[in-house]
Amino acid sequence: MPLNVNDAQFTIKVVNLSGRVDAFKAKEIRPELIHLIDEGASDLILDISSVEFLDSAGLAVLVAAMKHARSHNGDVRLVKPQADVVIRILELTKFNQVFRMFDTLQEAVASFKS
């Protein structure tokens, strides 16, 4: 399943994730995110506002993308999820403190400028 990727600026790519980000989907997402970074998208915005479910494999994908981006002098920012269950997972795992999270895509893009 190809990811829905948009250019926000020169080195910023926006990746829209939706539905379930679980062990099955994580196997597809991780290599595509790593490839984007390797191809020069040093900064990623993962829009998880439409994600309805996130498990440990999905969390691992987020961390892998962040580590890989940082090893390429970039970073990963998140657009906050709307689903309470996903918000709760991020809070329980303290990922809401690990990742910079924004209410809107525009705020996330602007955060790379400052």
Instruction: Report yes or no: 84 and 90 within 8 Å, Cβ to Cβ.
Output: no
Q: Give which of 41, 78, 39 is closest to 58, Cα–Cα.
A: 78
Where are the chain's structural domains? 4-103
Q: How far apart are CA 60 and CA 89, in angstroms?
A: 13
Reported residue count of the chain is: 114
CATH class, 4-103 region: alpha beta
Full pLDDT tens readout for the chain, 114 residues: 456 555 555 578 999 999 999 999 999 999 999 999 999 888 999 999 999 999 999 999 999 999 999 999 999 999 999 999 999 999 999 999 999 999 999 999 999 986
The type of residue at 77 is R
What pTM does this model have?
Answer: 0.89
